[in-house]
Amino acid sequence: MRFGIIGSGSWATAIAKILTDSHHSLNWWIRNENLLRHLESQGHNPQYLRSVYFDTGKLKLSGSVQQVIRDSNCVILAAPSAYIEKILEPLPASVFNGKQILSAVKGILPGRNLLLNEYLKNQFGFETDQYFTLMGPCHAEEIADEKLSYLTFSGLHVTPTLEIASNFSTGYVNTITNTDIYGVQYAAVLKNIYALGAGMAHGLEYGDNFLSVFIANCADEMAGFLHKVGIRHIEVGIHDDDASRPVKKSANYAASVYLGDLLVTCYSLFSRNRTFGNMIGKGYTVNAAKLELNMVAEGYNGSSCIYRINQQLKADMPIAETVYKILWEAVHVKEGFKLIEALLV
C-alpha cells in the first residue's frame, strides 16, 4: 500500500515518522516550497518536530496535491480542518476515485459545519465505506520521542480497517480498531472544546480538585451529545460479547479514543487547545492568543460548529456552550466560569 500525506504540521510529520519507521515509502504534499526544499536536503521539518529525521529515500515530496493523491492508494488528510476546503476544492470531482481516505483531521469543517466524510460525500461523491479515521489519544511530540502511544482506526468494515491499522504498528505505537467513524470524530471535536475550558480554568487559577470535577462533567456532557447523534455503544462497564476478541474488550465510552483522548487533551502541556484556553483565562483576547500560539487550536472553530449543530440536536451542553460564548460572544471568562461552577455535580 502506498500512502500519501496531505499536510505538513506536527501531526502530519508524526504520521510520516510512524510510516517510514514501519518501512513504508510515502508521497507527501508540502505547501511551502522552502519547507519542501529543506526536507529534501536536510531530512527534517524545521518548523515542527525538528528532532525527527527522515530517510529521504522514502519520501516523495511534492507541491501538488493532485499528484500526491494520484500516486497513492490511501490518502491521509492531516491538515487543520479550517484549511481542508481550500486545499481540496480546486480538485476535480473524480480525484478520489478508487482511493481510500484516512482522516487525521480532528475538527469539523467550519465553513459548512460538516464532518470530513460528509463534506467528501457532498463535494466528491466519495463513498463512506472507503473512509477511515485515525484518532488518538496521541500527541505528536510523544511520537517524536517514541513514547508508547495508542492510535484508534475507525472504518465501517472491520477487515479493511484492520489492514490499514496494521501499517502503523511500531515498537512505540499500539493500534486499536472500531467501526464508529461518527462517534470518534465528534469526540475529537468535543475533547478539544473541553480542553479549551480546562486551560481557561488553569489560567483562572482553579486547582486540581476543581479541574477533576470539571473534566468529569465534560465527560458526561460529551456522552450525552454522542447519544443524541445516535452513538449507542458508550455505556461504561458494558462490553459486547465478541468471540473474535479473545483478549481485548469491545470499546465503550471509557476507551482511549473517547475518554482517554479527553483526559490527555485537558491535562497535557503538549495540548495546544489547553494552552490557548490558558491564555484566555489569564486575560488574553482571542486575537492575542491566536498570535501568541501561532498554531491552530481546533477547539476554537469547533466550539462554534458544535454550538450551531446543537441548535438542531438540543443536547444538554452548558459547558461547551459557555466555552463558545467566552470565545465568540465576548462573555468574560470569569463570568462564564462562575456560571459553570454552579452547574457541576
What the block records as the C-alpha cell of 192 is 478539544
Query: What's the pLDDT at 243?
Result: 47
Query: What's the pLDDT at 249?
Result: 61
Question: Tell me, which fold does domain 3-179 have in CATH?
Answer: Rossmann fold (3.40.50)
Contact 68, 27 (CB under 8 A): yes
Query: What's the pLDDT at 242?
Result: 56
Question: In 203-233, which positions are buried (b, 16+ CB within 10 angstroms) versus exposed (e)?
Answer: bbebeeebbeebbebbbebbbebbebeebeb
Nearest to 27 by CA among 55, 67, 83, 77: 67
Query: What's the pLDDT at 300?
Result: 93
3-state helix, strand, coil in the chain (%, to 5): 50, 10, 35
CATH architecture, range 183-343: Orthogonal Bundle (1.10)
pTM for the model? 0.91
Query: What's the pLDDT at 238?
Result: 60
SS3 label, residue 60: strand
Query: What's the pLDDT at 233?
Result: 66
Q: Which residues of the chain have pLDDT under 50?
A: 243, 246-247
Query: What's the pLDDT at 296?
Result: 73
The span from the CA of 50 to the CA of 244, in Å, is 41
Per-domain residue ranges of the chain: 3-179, 183-343
